[in-house]
Amino acid sequence: MQLKPNSKKWKGNLSLYFSLPILSWAFYDFANTIFSSNINTIFFPFFLQEQIGENAVLDQIASTFISYANAIASLFLVLFSPLFGVMIDRTGKMKKYIIIFTLVSVAATFLMGIFGGLSLEGNLLGIPISLVIVIILFVVAKFFYHSSLVFYDTMMSDLGTKQQLPLISGFGVAVGYIGTLVGLSIYPFISKGSSHEAFIPTSILFLIFSLPLFFFLKETPKQQKVKQPFFSGYKEIIATFKEMRSYQLVFTFMIAYFFLNDAIATTIGMMAVYAKTVVGFSSGGFILLYLVSTVSSIIGSFLFGYITQAKGPRLAVTYVGILLLVALFVAVFAQTPLWFWIAGSMFGIALGSMWVTSRTFIIELTPVEKRGQFFGLFAFSGKVSSIIGPLMYGTITLIFHDLGTLASRMALGSLIIMTVIGLCFLLKMKNLEGVK
């Protein structure tokens, strides 16, 4: 007798997932995940390693370049992401800025491909000019990509009911990681030692799969009676911080997310170099590992939509944090590729599920009139940690580069500490009123 209602519920979920607004919204996750995986995680680190790394010591220097470039992009996000949230609350406009920021990110990625294939004369601080330009373009592309996500994540709250949002979030992330598989389809066409060839096709795929959101998703902007200067938004942010006691749950979660995201963001940026230089993966072997990790992300994010709906977002985030902790332990002490395969699969589940659970939790905890602002602060928390994590990782590999691969193990091990601190703050939330 239970089959009929479950069947109806499943059909209802399918009609929810494949409605035009939600499908258009999810396809943007598909599009931006192509950028994130191809540029941030795989081909930009490969490119820098090709340009700089020739031995175990230089590989650590390449790791430093990658981590510092990520940290610089995150610094700009720290400055601007809270203001983006205020803009959303003032105007209700989200799609407009998603389009603008996406086009800038696409253009910068396209130019990375052009300059990555050039050999310009001259050096800057001993670094070839063409390499300097590619690194600057990477910072620009990553900044605008992440800026668009502040608006994109906030948009989710208008797509369904409170009960539907965990499922919508999980569906979006799962579709996003399918985008990773599509993005990696260009790998067989990339010449050995020429990872820059991936940049232009990645930019094109990013643009193409963003178009459904551009054209089919509708929004209702608020009427802004008095136009206010962009930087005046800091006044509203300061006022919100002064009312911190009224939003204790939100701020406690942002602290927890700060430490958990520190581990996740740093691992995303460094996993390609770590797998190749420490564990001994070839480029092709890492791509295969990443494909398996991506499939784990698809399954995990979809399932965690239902876990979040059933158990509540706080418990769901806690489960993800524990899984992340175990994955990091295995990766730090992995001596053979087999153990890194296990770590990669667990990390894939944790990565996808963290986005599902965290943005659902923010929507549950925040008042509607300040939702954009809190998503901006949520991004702020994540990007501050995205500065500290890569800086810490890069500094450890720089200071201890003479130790070779041990330096990378030490750097990755520092992320275990961050994850434990994040879990402690999640446990603290259990004792606060109003948390289910």
311-354 pLDDT, tens digit per residue, is 888 889 999 999 999 999 998 888 888 888 998 889 888 888 88
Whether 243 maps to a domain, the answer reads yes
pLDDT of residue 211 exceeding 70, the answer is: yes
CATH number at residue 93: 1.20.1250.20
Indicate whether 16 belongs to any domain.
Answer: no
Residue 112 confidence class, pLDDT cut points 50, 70, 90: very high
Beta bridge partners of 217: none
pLDDT of residue 10 exceeding 70: no
Question: Per residue in 229-257, pLDDT tens?
Answer: 555 556 666 666 666 667 788 888 888 88
Cα 63-69-74 angle, rounded to 5 deg: 125
Residue of 140, 101, 132, 139 lying closest to 115 (CA atoms): 132
pLDDT recorded at residue 187? 84
Which whole number is the average pLDDT over 396-422?
A: 86
Of 242 and 196, more confident: 196
- How much helix, strand and coil, in percent to the nearest 5, is found in the chain? 85, 0, 15
Q: Is the dihedral of CA 353, 414, 334, 386 positive or negative?
A: positive
- pLDDT score for 54: 56
Between CA 190 and CA 287 the distance in angstroms is 12
pLDDT tens-place string over residues 116-168: 888 777 666 667 788 888 888 998 999 999 889 888 888 887 887 878 888 88
Is 334 among the domain residues? yes
Percent over 70 (pLDDT), the chain: 82
Query: 306 with 360: CB under 8 angstroms?
Result: no
Domain annotation covers residue 14: no
Is residue 311 within 8 A of residue 327, CB to CB? The reply is: no
* Domain-embedded: residue 6: no
The pLDDT score that the predictor gives to residue 421 is: 93
At residue 234, the pLDDT reads 62
In a domain, 4, yes or no: no
Q: Residue 296: in which H helix or E strand, if any?
A: helix 283-311
The whole domain housing 167 covers: 25-222+236-430
For 116-125, the CB contacts below 8 A with 24+ separation are: 116/47, 116/195, 116/196, 116/199, 117/194, 117/196, 117/197
What tens digit of pLDDT does each residue of 344-394 get? Answer: 889 888 888 887 888 788 888 877 777 777 777 777 776 677 677 777 887
258-314: pLDDT as tens digits:
889 888 878 877 777 788 778 878 878 888 888 888 888 888 888 888 888 888 888
The one-letter code for the residue type at 90 is R
Whole-angstrom distance between the N-terminal and C-terminal Cα of the chain? 31
Q: How far is CA 87 from CA 82, 147, 152, 231, 384, in A?
A: 9, 12, 13, 10, 20
Amino acid 360: pLDDT = 82
- Residue 402: per-residue pLDDT: 80
75: left (phi > 0), else alpha (psi -120 to 50), else beta? alpha
Q: Is residue 17 part of a domain?
A: no
pLDDT tens, residue by residue, 165-178: 888 888 888 888 88
Q: List CB contacts of 280: < 8 A, sequence separation 6 or more.
A: 337
**Of 145, 394, 152, which Cα lies nearest the Cα of 269?**
394
Count of structural domains, the chain: 1
Do the domain assignments include residue 175? yes
